[in-house]
Structures are given as C-alpha cells and as structure tokens.
C-alpha cells in the first residue's frame, strides 16, 4: 500500500430519495464499519440523509458506492459528495436529532459531485 492510499480523507455526503424511516442510518453505520470508515449519519428535515465520512480513499469509494444503493428497502434517487477537511472521527455514530449538529453547513451548495442512481 502506498502512502496516498492510506492517507485519511473526508467527504460530506447528502443522500436523497426514500431514505428516511428505512433503516438507512443504521445500515450506513454497518457499512461504514465494514469499510473502515468513521464519521456521522443523520436525518435532515428535508427528507434526505446527511453523512460525514472519513477514511482511506479506497474505503471511502466503497462506502460512497454503498450510499448510492443503501439498504434494500430504501430508494436512493441522488447522492451529492463533497470533499472537506478531515475532522479525525474515531467512530461512526448515528446522530438522532438535529440539535446535536448544525445542519446549515450541509453540502448542497458549492461544488459537489452529483451521482444519480
């Protein structure tokens, strides 16, 4: 493995579609642990799911690919991915209410990579 492949990266992910009340957050946490990714996942009042994820580039690619599908009962329509500053997460947590994290900084503005399912 070269140094670039093990360097930690951070992405903010916004998932749109039928993704709330489908087990998406719990399944995302399981996928994150499977791929060695750390961060957070939470519902957003507009019906989307917001994820901050960190890990090696290859692991993040696998995780983002999973996010495009989600659990079998979710219906992912669109995924936005934006690189951000590494925050050094040490676990992957489900945020259960929007009072814990500010949601006005959620990506959707600026340069994002749009991926349609």
For 106, phi then psi, to 5°, come to -70, 135
- pLDDT digits over 44-93, tens only? 999 999 999 999 999 999 999 999 999 999 999 999 999 999 999 999 99
- pLDDT digits over 14-41, tens only? 999 999 999 999 999 999 999 999 999 9
Hey, which CATH number is domain 3-92, 3.50.50.60, 3.30.70.100, 3.20.20.70, 3.30.2130.10? 3.30.70.100
pTM (global) more than 0.85: no
Task: Give the residue extent of every domain in the chain.
Answer: 3-92
Q: Is-contact 37 59, C-beta < 8 A?
A: yes
Q: Encode 30-52 in three state secondary structure.
A: HHHHHHCCEEEEEECCCCCEEEE
């Amino acid at each position: 493995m070269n140094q670039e492949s093990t360097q930690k990266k951070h992405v903010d992910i916004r998932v749109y579609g039928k993704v709330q009340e489908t087990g998406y957050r719990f399944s995302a946490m399981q996928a994150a642990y499977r791929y060695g990714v750390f961060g957070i996942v939470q519902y957003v009042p507009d019906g989307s799911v917001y994820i901050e994820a960190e890990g090696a580039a290859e692991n993040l690619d696998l995780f983002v690919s999973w996010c495009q599908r989600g659990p079998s009962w979710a219906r992912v329509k669109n995924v936005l991915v934006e690189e951000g500053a590494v925050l050094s997460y040490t676990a992957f947590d489900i945020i259960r209410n929007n009072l814990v994290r500010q949601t006005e900084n959620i990506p959707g503005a600026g340069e994002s990579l749009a991926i349609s399912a």
